[in-house]
Structure formats: structure tokens, C-alpha cells
Copies of this chain bind each other. A is one copy, B any other.
């Protein structure tokens, strides 16, 4: 296999180089034909590598960038003022073909704005979207959902493009032949859905490419009834964050309940291994790595607070998307299918 080169924004995220460098070293041990470029302050990165008795090699190089995009920085300001940021330079390496993909744990808004500005969307795709894999109660099955916040005020044509992109990515990355695509909707019969969702459903029903299975309600996302769930970025972002909040509420109640008396504290000790394995199963590092999809290049967003293994998982996602040529696949599907379906 020919080697894959991936550029890492080594300064991004809450922990910057102290997570990205060990994650990179870990990932290199996992793949024989992977090369990584650490993009960021050379001095910081060399010092960080030294901690692991590591230095630059053929497979691990440092590419200096003098600036860092702050986690709360406005995307427009980052775009204008941070032309030598580790994020921007890493994306530039994809643009110039020196890397096949880029992974960043930096500010999502800035990453999306910069990636869109530098790489541009694929022909036929109006707007990139954010897609990630989520766990389900159906064994090891995962569900991929998009858009998770790149777009608001989404039009019907965008929902259709999300469906095509989600279907192509899931088919390629998860090896699912005809991924079941559902539209997120609400259950109230008469008013089932807003105007966009109703119109998007009509287009999806008429699409020969998409294996459209109909509406999916909020409580069905984690049941594994669909392989891909399509929604507006506002709704998707709320759904994702509400999940985080609901899980935290359960954990809060659980801690409270176990702390009530010495007896319950004792049973808490007994249940500790179970709770740990529960935590592992819900561990975001298993699902870390959202894709910015619809661009002329592969860009993976790691969670800002990702640890070493979680960041390494985002690198895994980049490797598989590069191997499977996801942008090229979307390009050819969109060219072949989007226009006739939209013409109906």
C-alpha cells in the first residue's frame, strides 16, 4: 500500500501538543504506511517529542506554524488574522497535496470556516456538513448523524445533499452496502415535520440511490433503526448536546443515590467495575472524530478535550476516509445522481 500522509494541527484543542504528540506517536505504531506531519510551534513540538525520547523521522515531521487559533476566537477573525496558524497551515498542506487529510481538535467554527475557504466544497455540494458516529443499543451498530451544526436555516436541497454525503461516507467507511437513511422528524401526526423535512422526504422517496427508510423520531436515534440520520444543523447540534446533558443528569443522580448512606456507598463500591465499563462503553474517545464532509479534502474534527487515545481515534477516522477516497466518492455520486433527482 502507498503511504498516507496526514497533517495534524498540533496546537489545537484544550491540551494542544501535550495530547497531539503522544497521540501521533501512538498512531504511527498502529499503521505501517502512515506518515504524520505535526504542524505548530517547532520549539514546543521538539520539546514535547523529547519527553517521549522521540524526534523527527521520515514518518514524523514537524512543520512550523507561528500562530494558534484560540478556542473562543471568532471564525471570521481567525480567517483574517491567523494565516500562519497551525490549523490553517495544516489545511494548506491538504490543499497543496502534501497531506491527504488534516486532523484538528481546535475551534469548530474556525476549522469549518478555514477548511471551506481553503479547500472549497465539492462541485454540486453547496455547504459542507459535520457528521459523526454515535453508539446505539443495537449491539456494536453505530449510527452516523449529520448535520451537527455547520449549517442553520438549511434548505431542502441541502438536506438532500446531506443524505447523499452521509450515505456515501457510511457505505465506504462502515462497509454497509445500502445504508438505511432516515430523516429526523417529530411524531405529531398532522403536522409531521416542518416544510423542509416534508419536502426533503419527497425527494428522498424518489431517489434511486438513497435507501430512504422514512422518518426517525428523537427517541429512535440510539436504537439503531437507521445507519444515517439527516437533519438541519441546528436540530442536530441540539440533539447531540441534549444527549450529553441527559447522560450527565443520569450520572449525577446515580452518584447522588450511591452517596446516600454507607450501605449504598458500599454497593457503589461493588458496582464500581460495572460503572467503569459503562463509562468505557459511552466513552467519547470510542466515537471521537467528526468529519467535515463535502469538502475537496478530508478534514477530521477531534473533540477539544480529547485525550491521547481519543485523538488517535480521530486519526483512525482520517486514515479510513483517505483509504476509501470519501471526497472522490461523494464527487462522483453527486455528479451522477444529484442533478436528475433534483430535477423532479
Interface residues of A (CB under 8 A from B): 72, 74-76, 107-109, 112-113, 135-137, 149-153, 184, 186-191, 193-195, 197, 217-223, 231, 233-235, 237-250, 252-254, 256-258, 260, 263-264, 266-268, 270-275, 277-278, 281-282
Assembly CA distance A191 to B153 (angstroms): 10
Assembly CA distance A190 to B233 (angstroms): 14
Contact B246 A191 (CB under 8 A): no
Contact B241 A243 (CB under 8 A): no
Contact of A153 with B238 at beta-carbon distance under 8 Å, contacts A189-B72, A189-B75, A249-B137 already known: no
Contact A254 B239 (CB under 8 A): no
Contact of A260 with B277 at beta-carbon distance under 8 Å, contacts A190-B75, A252-B137, A267-B271 already known: yes
Contact A273 B264 (CB under 8 A): yes
Assembly CA distance A247 to B247 (angstroms): 6
Which of A108, A109, A222, A249 gathers most chain B CB within 10 Å? A249
Assembly CA distance A270 to B265 (angstroms): 10
Chain B min CB distance to A274 (Å): 4
Assembly CA distance A208 to B135 (angstroms): 44
- Is chain A's binding surface mostly helix, strand, loop or mixed? helix
Contact B242 A218 (CB under 8 A): yes
Assembly CA distance A250 to B282 (angstroms): 8
Contact B238 A222 (CB under 8 A): no
Contact of A244 with B218 at beta-carbon distance under 8 Å, contacts A186-B233, A190-B75, A250-B282 already known: yes
Q: Given A186-B241, A218-B242, A250-B278, list of 17 further CB < 8 A pairs?
A: A150-B188, A151-B191, A152-B191, A152-B194, A188-B237, A219-B242, A221-B245, A223-B245, A239-B239, A253-B282, A254-B278, A257-B277, A258-B274, A263-B273, A264-B271, A267-B273, A271-B271
Report which of B233, B246, B260 forms a contact with A246, defined as CB distance below 8 A: B246
Chain B residues whose C-beta falls within 8 Å of the C-beta of A245 in the assembled complex: 218-223, 243
Assembly CA distance A117 to B273 (angstroms): 56
Assembly CA distance A242 to B272 (angstroms): 27
Please, which residue of chain B has its CB at the minimum distance from the CB of A238?
A: B218
Chain B min CB distance to A223 (Å): 7
Please, which residue of chain B has its CB at the minimum distance from the CB of A148?
A: B186
Report which of B191, B223, B271, B274 forms a contact with A109, defined as CB distance below 8 A: B191
Contact of A246 with B242 at beta-carbon distance under 8 Å, contacts A188-B109, A274-B258 already known: yes
Assembly CA distance A220 to B252 (angstroms): 14
Contact of A250 with B250 at beta-carbon distance under 8 Å, contacts A152-B191, A187-B237, A190-B74 already known: yes
